Amino acid sequence: MKHIVLSSAEAKLLREFGKHLLSTQGLAPRTCAARLFYAREFFQWRRKSKPPKLKPKELTPEVLLQYVLQRSAKDSPVRLQAVASALRCLGRFLRFSGRSHHDLSSALPRVASPSRSCLPDYLRPEQLSTLLRSIDATTASGLRNYAMVLCLSRLGLRAAEVAGLNLQQIQWRRGVIVLGAGKGRRERQLPLPKDVGQALAKYLQRRQLRTDSRRVFCAIRTGKELSPPAVGQVARRALSQAGIRLARSGAHALRRTLASHLVQRGVSLKAIADLLGHRCLDTTRIYANLNHSMLREVSRPWPTEETR
């Protein structure tokens, strides 16, 4: 992120805004950092615009909308979504902290993204089986990649959760994996399926680390801890080698796969949200569109006129 110079008053406001996002709203640190960045860019734009900068209580919905519309000429829909979301949060914070008498968040409507489908991209059961069979589990790297793919597809872990998984989080006797507060700021305990446990055990018995790291997944040659992007790269490479093409490939595709399969089996959205660590059911609700059997049960033929 580029450095943006702010006045002392603006810097103080943003510090308080960041604390609000982290402690009051309970957002993940990465999400807080992104929204702070876009808020800084907005303040920088206000300082350069004419008339001169306005105080927070003097901001109006028209100013926020003008800024987003101006950015729409150069930003992608995904980036524009992030900008609008950050400014909505800023507007709610200004109202919450008494700095504004207006609800500025309502000035910014949701930004549509034509690149995103209303249905999540996921693997069918036969594709997931093909993916797992395609991984060469006879080598140390293959055992590691196989265990990582299982953690993504059978437990629904995020790439960051796989990368940060520690040995002490795996409680073998109890058959559970204990995850700390991650993106959703929620601690959760997941059952350890037999196939996942066996894959982890085989990999851990085979690997040879040159460091004292307690991380489960490390680079085979150097022993360095893997980063979330490295986990995503392993997932993308495995999908490519298996001949599986997805619009949005990577580690999150396997997480979406688990959620989609659970919905199709009739598992409740609340149970899926708890498993995935979603703070809001709206995040999980998109998978309800995939319960085709349920949709068939509630569908009825179009009424036709009877003739005698």
Cα distances (angstroms) measured from residue 144 to each of 226, 293, 297, 304: 11, 36, 42, 59
**Residue in the block written with tokens 């659970």:** 262
- Is 47 in contact with 53 (CB distance < 8 Å)? yes
Q: What amino acid occupies position 168? A: Q
8-107 and 125-294 agree in CATH topology: no
Which pLDDT belongs to residue 298? 44
**Residue in the block written with tokens 């995503």:** 232
Q: How far apart are CA 56 and CA 40, in angstroms?
A: 13
Written as tens digits, the pLDDT of the chain (308 aa) is 455 566 778 888 889 998 888 888 777 788 888 999 999 899 888 877 765 566 777 788 888 888 888 898 888 888 888 898 899 889 888 888 888 877 777 777 777 655 454 555 789 999 999 999 999 988 999 999 999 999 999 999 999 999 999 999 999 999 999 987 655 556 788 999 999 999 999 999 888 766 677 899 998 888 888 999 999 999 999 999 999 988 878 898 999 899 888 888 888 888 888 888 877 776 777 766 655 444 454 444 545 555 55
Which pLDDT belongs to residue 113? 59
Cα distances (angstroms) measured from residue 87 to each of 68, 139, 181: 9, 49, 26
Which pLDDT belongs to residue 295? 47
Q: Is 144 helix (H, G, I), strand (E, B) or coil?
A: helix
Q: What is the CATH number of domain 8-107?
A: 1.10.150.130
Q: Is it true that the peptide bond before 56 is cis, omega within 30 degrees of 0?
A: no
Which pLDDT belongs to residue 47? 78
pTM, rounded to two decimals:
0.65
**Residue in the block written with tokens 């796989």:** 162
Token pair for residue 212? 């004292």
User: What is the residue extent of each domain of the chain?
Assistant: 8-107, 125-294
DSSP letter, residue 190: E
Domain formed by 125-294, architecture = Orthogonal Bundle (1.10)
List the 188-191 sheet strands across, edge first: 170-171, 176-179, 188-191
Which pLDDT belongs to residue 306? 52
Q: What amino acid occupies position 119? A: L
Angle of helix 140-154 relative to helix 251-264, nearest 10 degrees, comes to 40
